Structure 1
Amino acid sequence: MDKSNLIKMANDIGSFFKSEPDRALAIQGVEQHIRNFWEPRMRKEIVEYLEKGGADLMDIVAEAVKKL
């Protein structure tokens, strides 16, 4: 899958959970959504992207991806 599309999708999830006042719950929400709804190949690609720097990921998304 195109990395830019994965990044956009991940950040869209992050934007949804960003309004959660508890940062830990927001990160957990992003992580759980990715675990539940992304296929393994997509999860692997976003993890690899983060390992290479992940500059375009929102902070809470990067934290969530670290937990995958």
Structure 2
Amino acid sequence: MNPLQLVKMANQISDFFSADCSEEEAAAEIASHLQRFWAPAMRQRLAQAVEQGEAAELRPAACLAVQKMSFPAEQH
């Protein structure tokens, strides 16, 4: 999936959760939402985009959410 589209969607989620709480609380809610509703490949691709500097437009709370998520080690 296109990382720019994932960033756009993550930012929309961030805007929703950031409206009424602190950045830390919003990040926890965003991470929970992503883990419940996004496919693992989407979460992995967003994390990869953050890691590779392809997600400069990602809101701070969403970026923090990505950092909070744990990803299983890659199978070789």
Match in the other structure for 1:4: 4
Structure 1 length as normaliser, TM-score?
A: 0.91
Using the aligned pairs only, state the percent identity: 34
CA RMSD of aligned residues (A): 1.0
Greater helix percent: which structure?
1
Deviation beyond 3 Å, 4+ runs, structure 1: none
Q: 1:22 Cα deviation (Å)?
A: 2.8
Letter in 2 for 1:56: E
Larger radius of gyration: 2
Counterpart in the other structure of 1:66: 67
> Shift of residue 58 of structure 1?
0.2
For 1:6 and 1:12, locate their aligned partners in 2 and report how far apart those are by CA, in whole Å: 10
- Structure 1 residue 20 displacement after superposition: 2.3
Q: Which amino acid aligns with 2:64?
A: E
The count of corresponding residues between Structure 1 and Structure 2 is 68
The SS at the match of 2:58 is: coil
For residues 59 and 4 of structure 1, the distance between their equivalents in structure 2, rounded to whole angstroms, comes to 16
